[in-house]
Structure 1
Amino acid sequence: MSTIEDLIDRMRGYLEPEEVQQVRRAYYFAEQAHDGQRRRSGEHYVTHPLAVATILANMHMDHHSLMAAMLHDVIEDTPVTKEALAKQFGDTVADLVDGVSKLTQIHFEDKALAQAENFQKMALAMARDIRVILVKLADRLHNMRTLGALRPDKKRRIARETLDIYAPIAGRLGINTIRTELEDLGFAGMHPMRYERLKRAVQSGKGNRKQVIREIQQALQACLETDELPGKVIGREKHLLSLYRKMKERRKSFSDIMDVYGFRIVTDKVDSCYRILGAIHNLYKPIPGRFKDYIAIPKANGYQSLHTSLIGMNGLPIEVQIRTREMESMANNGIAAHWLYKKSSRQKEPSSGMTGASHARARQWVKGLLEMQQRAGDSLEFIENVKLDLFPDEVYVFTPKGAIMEMPSGATPVDFAYAVHTDVGNSCVAARINRRLSPLSTVLESGQSVEIITAPSARPSLAWLSFVTTAKARSAIRHYVKSQHRTESVSLGKRLLNKALDNYGKQYDDIAKPNIQALLTEFQYQNEQDLLEAIGLGNRVAFGIARALINESETSETPLENESSNSKLAISGTEGMVISYARCCHPIPGDPVLGHISSGRGIVIHMDNCRNIAELRNDSDRCIALEWTESVKGDFTVVLRVEAEHQKGFIAELASLITEADANIEKITTEERDAKVVMVNIELGVQNRVHLARVMRRMRSLSNISRLVRARR
């Protein structure tokens, strides 16, 4: 077990004496604060923060991070406040500790909500200082190492959270040493029996593999020496969760997966990497299509290396990674690789010790987290978006100007558009992939050039949610739809309220603000928009609100019997999602229509003679007279039922006539009544009754049609 003196010996190798002393002081403060507290394993509690600090010291983290590691549970588990910590150790350390601390003062209904809220709090703290997540990862790593003392159900819950959130975050930030250990410990916590069986299988297989590994390693090393190339060949161990996933995904046995031998070659500079690649390709035959150059195009987390697969001696498959020493450090420690404390880190910007590339990538990712957090409806939606964003694989595509964009595997042009800018995503209408028009749902592949076509009047479609893969695109679409829905609901709500107030000879803008405020207080609404939205969605009846507002005005006004009370609400077809068209009768412009205010949906429009609205017609609060405006635009669905004599090519001829009449076929189904007669149901998109009549005239020109009617349920 590590002691404070062991940690001090590590820190002396890269920290200044006064900085080491500050970490020591933080340790004694934590020891005193946690006095009397013990872990589930029975150890003194201070052993945990000491272990967390040791993990960070092995990554050469700065003294502020080590002090925060020592104190990370003080706010959460002891009476010490953030203000007291700031007074003792400064604002930087206090902010780091507060960012890692859970929201203990709030009671949550379930564990999932608590997890989501705590992660959201930590994400906001990460935006201010990326070191928050590094302290949290070290904390989680030590907790996973000591998981054995917990109940089985708690073990599984913590292991699942680790595999879902913390291991992918470590991978996203390029800290593979922590990622692989978290994954294996999470695997052991989730599936202890599978873990043990796989572990024993790997250990028993090592004896058989040692000789083969040694021979291949010696052959690769001899190849480098012959060509006078600097480099060290290292055998690469597969970690257990990776083996388990490959067995499941590829449906292969343990022996098939273990037959692949992995090696890493670490050299001095980039030029040597490519020269070594040529040398080993000359030694063993490369497998076509299995070479990846992550040096020229790094992964999203900053990882760089050359990957190649070869057929070695006796036909054995070999995987080789070639990288420089700096790339090796980056692959293992990610953004923490170069965080050697410097004088400049005393300045306001805490991340000045990071390399430019890793700093920029980490900041970009955290910026993306903040955008998702701002658009998410709640913390549970936010954490689901984060899980989506922690993708394991990338594809690399090009913008029209030749810039490289990293996208997750399975990404579409819509994901690409939102990656460029939210406004581009919101206004995209089409895409060109390699200069050819392609559907927005097309899955992108590495090396493609993608151009997004936008239109000022375009807006996101809910249908996009069925194929987008990035969290940014998903959260942006949902946010836009929600805000658009609210805007449309508020607008409709005001129109409905004005129509109801017409009966009293007033308009909403004529009502005194104090009277409106009194009504908001009575119905417990935050503001006028919330009230109008409730009316537009049908959750409040406009006539009831109108009566209440008139009573608040302290007048003896009664409804007026005039033309305005019988006025109809005009429908233009551009109201959006708060107005829908009944699927029982499919009303179109030109039809006499009646509206029913449905709770949560807004106005549902029926044809005036629809049977389904007959019972609701007498409910004056819920039924509303409607009329189409002259400028109504758009395509409206109508269903036609055709009875015809069965002839070869009839459906094709019918479809051709409909297309010539500028109507759009949305759906077509057929049913045979007997050997000679066929019934065809066609869903069409038409502009109005005049357009529908023109389409039906064309269809009746077919001699074998015996009956053509507009269908209703």
Structure 2
Amino acid sequence: MNELTEIISPDEQMIKDEFNALLNDYLNSNHRRKVERITKAFNFANQAHAGVKRRSGEPYIMHPLAVARIVCREMGLGSTSICSALLHDVVEDTEYTVEDIRNMFDDKIAQIVDGLTKISGGIFGEQASTQAENFRKLLLTMSSDIRVILIKIADRLHNMRTLGSMLPAKQFKIAGETLYLYAPLAHRLGLFSIKTELEDLSFKYEHPEEYKHIKEKLAATEASRQTLFEHFAKPLNKKLEEMGLDFEMRARVKSIYSIWNKMQTKGVAFEDIYDIFAVRIIFEPKAGVDEKNLCWDIYSAITDIYRIRPDRIRDWVSRPKANGYQALHLTVMGPDGQWIEIQIRSHRMDDIAEKGFAAHWKYKEKHVEEDTELDKWLETITEILESPDPDALDFLDTIKLNLFTSEIFVFTPKGDIKTLPQGATALDFAYALHSNIGNKCIGAKVNHRLVPLSHPLSSGDQVEILTSRSQKPQAEWLNFVTTARARSKIDAVLKRNRKEQAKEGEIKVVNALKKAGIDPNIANIEKLSIYFGFSKREEFFYSVEKNDIILPENLKKILREKTDNALFKYVRQALGVKQKELPASTEPEIKKESPKFDRSKPYVLREEAFERNYVIASCCKPIPGDDALGFINDDGNVVVHKRSCPIAMRLKSSFGERILSTVWSSHKNASFEATLEIKGIDSIGVLNIITKTISEDFNVNIQRLLIEAKDGVFEGKVRIWVHDVEDIQKMCVSLSKIKNIKSVGRIAE
């Protein structure tokens, strides 16, 4: 009798293999063995997504499986998170509801899936204000269960890993918001390896040429780095083995994005970055010996062999960072005359550095419960949520500001420690103590010396806050606070004061209308508000109270006139369109329909008969040859930005559906404005040589030249007209060869 053999399609085999890999990851963790519920969640999700394909062509269920594997293997989370990851798209993409999930599984999984569904449009919101509000929802959800944001980060990581199948415009949008929000959030939560991968993948799609260039440079210098490492490690290995330590020593190369970022911020070439690689020593603790003491024993062994650089010691073993990071960092002079950074960690510290607090579970007793361990995560971003009514992009920037910061430790007069972000001021410290102390703050004593509110604090400072009952928060305070808590408290008071002043202004407007014999109804007040160019009545009332607007006597005449022109003028202003004189007709011109753009291929930037099919962004002023992208404004025009422009970063994150990938056509007959910055040693005739080189050798028109010399050194800015980036590069090479010129580079102005 023939046995029946089950025939499995290639897709089914792929799904089966990936699910088995997920189970293996889970069984190798310390979590309770709840394989049945994971299998149940997989079968449910597989059936719900049956027949649906991703853009890459593979079955859709491969995405939830990949997210679940990231959650398990790379974040160390347990069965609740794995089930939620498998089910994270079911409610959004199929007919099933959160109630169905609750009935099939439990309240906790249903709550997490519901949180993920609610924020699914969040960072992808079409308008900036909607986006900010959705991101706030994300953070609020996170405060009730951190797993929502962890699974969301895992979801984004898999999307970035498979971004190659997307259209270029979509790639820019997703890469931009990843760099803007997800990478810093992963950093703040201690997910270092995920943060690094998100940055590198974003950079790969935003700046493919630079990415490729740095990758090739790293490959070309790999052999020399290996030789350097071997020379350094040989005597140290011997010393640590003599101490009886169980350890591994390896070289860690700086990420491609970090290298590029340092090249940009420091204005240096790849060859000038001395910390491209660091040495990491990871040890197994000895029974009965404190990890911290072992770190310092290894430190002592290193400094017996190599000369240390004292200003580069970082002790995060005694006092870990807020995101859980622990390590001892030092920099020494290697045997080949190069500075080498060394990071000393135990295996536990290394796991926490790579995976965040989740790695703690690995060092607990076997079969830990996931839920009891998650409380450690919840204190990181809650202060940002205290803001009652955040303004959209300001709110996002505040979050971003707080996510990126490293910490300083400051003491109260009684010796209590407060942790603040790097760059925090005395006023930030006042608000960290209590909002009433912040509101009444008039100054501070730092280390017993009187300082202003704006004084930046350093680690180890002892701070005493001085207050006065008559003090009130001022608008300029927003210029010198860095923490979200202080900003939100000041904002709240200012908004309250503004509302009170607006009420006084409203009374003045109503009285003025009554005096003119006009009914003070909403319609009349609205017309008056628009006439003076305000979109909101409250802003109009506030300006009246502050005497920025003086109400005329002839209010009847103003309200009798047609307000169409004034209204149209305001609408155009609000849309950011340059004002044009309106025709004499009282009817506003009809706005033409925006042209349609084919996003499946790059938009070609052309110049024909002195007319361009695009507008150059004034913030970054790209020229042909720059990595650029297009943004469709409200007038239907394509505004071209450099891809690295901060404004473009916000546009990608907030208005992704308006982003176009672009390519430059030949622009040899067109001219573009660019600014060069030149620095060097001041000497007779240097200015003459510079102008002669630019004007005569390159036949370029100089628009503006500003040179300043001080103490034997000069700095200059030259604004010129060029055809493309190639012109700039040739000019920089020629100028840099001039004697006494030390650096030449293009800058945004």
Normalized against structure 2, the TM-score is what? 0.65
CA contact (8 A) 2:430 2:441 kept: yes
Looking at structure 1, the residues matched to 310 and 277 of structure 2 have their Cα atoms a distance apart, in angstroms, of 18
- Does the residue aligned with 1:386 lie in a helix, a strand or coil? helix
* Percent identity of paired positions between Structure 1 and Structure 2: 39
One-letter amino acid of the counterpart of residue 39, structure 2: R
- Does the residue aligned with 1:303 lie in a helix, a strand or coil? coil
User: Equivalent residue for 1:157?
Assistant: 173
User: Once the two structures are superposed, what CA deviation does each residue of 1:586-621 show, in whole Å capped at 9, x if it has no partner?
Assistant: xxxxxxxxxxx9654133559xxxxx97x9356599
Relative to structure 2, which stretch is displaced further, 265-274 or 484-493? Answer: 484-493
One-letter amino acid of the counterpart of residue 347, structure 2: R
- Does the residue aligned with 2:273 lie in a helix, a strand or coil? helix
Distance change in 2, residues 1:496/1:62 (3 Å): same
Distance change in 2, residues 1:261/1:192 (3 Å): closer
- Does the residue aligned with 2:345 lie in a helix, a strand or coil? strand
User: Counterparts of 1:167-566 in structure 2 under 5 Å?
Assistant: 167-257=183-273, 261-267=277-283, 268=285, 269-339=291-361, 351-354=371-374, 359-360=375-376, 362-372=377-387, 374-377=388-391, 379-490=392-503, 493=506, 523=522
- Does the residue aligned with 1:188 lie in a helix, a strand or coil? helix
Distance change in 2, residues 1:429/1:67 (3 Å): same
Looking at structure 1, the residues matched to 366 and 112 of structure 2 have their Cα atoms a distance apart, in angstroms, of 19
User: Equivalent residue for 1:53?
Assistant: 68
- Quick one: which of 527, 544, 558 aligns to 1:602? 544
- Does the residue aligned with 1:321 lie in a helix, a strand or coil? strand
Which has more radius of gyration? 1
Deviation at 1:215, TM superposition (A): 2.3
CA contact (8 A) 1:184 1:240 kept: yes
CA contact (8 A) 1:430 1:439 kept: yes
One-letter amino acid of the counterpart of residue 543, structure 2: R
User: Equivalent residue for 1:88?
Assistant: 104
User: Equivalent residue for 1:74?
Assistant: 90
Deviation at 1:235, TM superposition (A): 1.5
Looking at structure 2, the residues matched to 221 and 376 of structure 1 have their Cα atoms a distance apart, in angstroms, of 54
User: Once the two structures are superposed, what CA deviation does each residue of 1:218-263 show, in whole Å capped at 9, x if it has no partner?
Assistant: 2222221234445332222211111111111222221222565411
CA contact (8 A) 1:117 1:380 kept: no
User: Equivalent residue for 2:706?
Assistant: none
Relative to structure 2, which stretch is displaced further, 362-371 or 122-131? Answer: 362-371
Distance change in 2, residues 1:285/1:15 (3 Å): closer
One-letter amino acid of the counterpart of residue 117, structure 1: E
User: Once the two structures are superposed, what CA deviation does each residue of 1:387-412 show, in whole Å capped at 9, x if it has no partner?
Assistant: 12112433332222223333222221
One-letter amino acid of the counterpart of residue 367, structure 1: T
One-letter amino acid of the counterpart of residue 477, structure 2: W
Distance change in 2, residues 1:217/1:456 (3 Å): same
CA contact (8 A) 2:409 2:417 kept: yes
The answer on 1:33 being equivalent to 2:48 is yes
User: Equivalent residue for 1:142?
Assistant: 158
Looking at structure 1, the residues matched to 52 and 465 of structure 2 have their Cα atoms a distance apart, in angstroms, of 59
- Quick one: which of 87, 99, 123 aligns to 2:115? 99
How many pairs were matched up? 529
**Structure with more relative contact order (C-alpha pairs < 8 Å, separation 6 or more):** 2
**Please, what is the CA RMSD of the aligned residues?**
3.5
User: Counterparts of 1:5-20 in structure 2 under 5 Å?
Assistant: 5-14=20-29, 19-20=34-35
Distance change in 2, residues 1:109/1:277 (3 Å): closer
CA contact (8 A) 2:122 2:138 kept: no
CA contact (8 A) 2:274 2:339 kept: no
User: Equivalent residue for 2:618?
Assistant: none
User: Counterparts of 1:612-691 in structure 2 under 5 Å?
Assistant: 616-617=552-553
User: Once the two structures are superposed, what CA deviation does each residue of 1:353-396 show, in whole Å capped at 9, x if it has no partner?
Assistant: 25xxxx44x32223213213x3414x444323211211243333
Looking at structure 1, the residues matched to 512 and 541 of structure 2 have their Cα atoms a distance apart, in angstroms, of 18
Looking at structure 1, the residues matched to 492 and 170 of structure 2 have their Cα atoms a distance apart, in angstroms, of 35
Looking at structure 1, the residues matched to 379 and 124 of structure 2 have their Cα atoms a distance apart, in angstroms, of 31
Looking at structure 2, the residues matched to 175 and 80 of structure 1 have their Cα atoms a distance apart, in angstroms, of 32
Looking at structure 2, the residues matched to 285 and 108 of structure 1 have their Cα atoms a distance apart, in angstroms, of 51
CA contact (8 A) 2:505 2:545 kept: no
- Quick one: which of 31, 37, 43 aligns to 2:58? 43
CA contact (8 A) 1:224 1:276 kept: yes
Distance change in 2, residues 1:392/1:366 (3 Å): closer
CA contact (8 A) 1:376 1:479 kept: no
Looking at structure 1, the residues matched to 100 and 479 of structure 2 have their Cα atoms a distance apart, in angstroms, of 50
Gaps of 5+ in 1: 505-518, 525-530, 542-577, 580-596, 607-611, 623-713
One-letter amino acid of the counterpart of residue 404, structure 1: I
Looking at structure 2, the residues matched to 247 and 503 of structure 1 have their Cα atoms a distance apart, in angstroms, of 66
CA contact (8 A) 1:538 1:600 kept: no
User: Once the two structures are superposed, what CA deviation does each residue of 1:544-587 show, in whole Å capped at 9, x if it has no partner?
Assistant: xxxxxxxxxxxxxxxxxxxxxxxxxxxxxxxxxx99xxxxxxxx
Deviation at 1:482, TM superposition (A): 0.8
Deviation at 1:479, TM superposition (A): 2.1
Distance change in 2, residues 1:181/1:394 (3 Å): same
Distance change in 2, residues 1:185/1:618 (3 Å): closer
Looking at structure 2, the residues matched to 474 and 409 of structure 1 have their Cα atoms a distance apart, in angstroms, of 16
CA contact (8 A) 2:502 2:541 kept: no
Distance change in 2, residues 1:4/1:15 (3 Å): farther
Looking at structure 1, the residues matched to 133 and 205 of structure 2 have their Cα atoms a distance apart, in angstroms, of 24
Looking at structure 1, the residues matched to 240 and 477 of structure 2 have their Cα atoms a distance apart, in angstroms, of 52
Relative to structure 2, which stretch is displaced further, 147-156 or 386-395? Answer: 386-395
User: Equivalent residue for 2:142?
Assistant: 126
Deviation at 1:473, TM superposition (A): 2.1
Looking at structure 2, the residues matched to 345 and 11 of structure 1 have their Cα atoms a distance apart, in angstroms, of 13
Looking at structure 1, the residues matched to 365 and 496 of structure 2 have their Cα atoms a distance apart, in angstroms, of 46
CA contact (8 A) 1:169 1:390 kept: yes
Deviation at 1:64, TM superposition (A): 0.7
Deviation at 1:282, TM superposition (A): 1.4
Deviation at 1:523, TM superposition (A): 4.3
CA contact (8 A) 1:538 1:602 kept: no
Distance change in 2, residues 1:213/1:465 (3 Å): same
Deviation at 1:177, TM superposition (A): 1.4
User: Once the two structures are superposed, what CA deviation does each residue of 1:296-333 show, in whole Å capped at 9, x if it has no partner?
Assistant: 22212121111111111131211011122221111111
Deviation at 1:135, TM superposition (A): 0.6
One-letter amino acid of the counterpart of residue 376, structure 1: P
Gaps of 5+ in 2: 1-13, 286-290, 532-536, 559-749
- Does the residue aligned with 1:319 lie in a helix, a strand or coil? strand
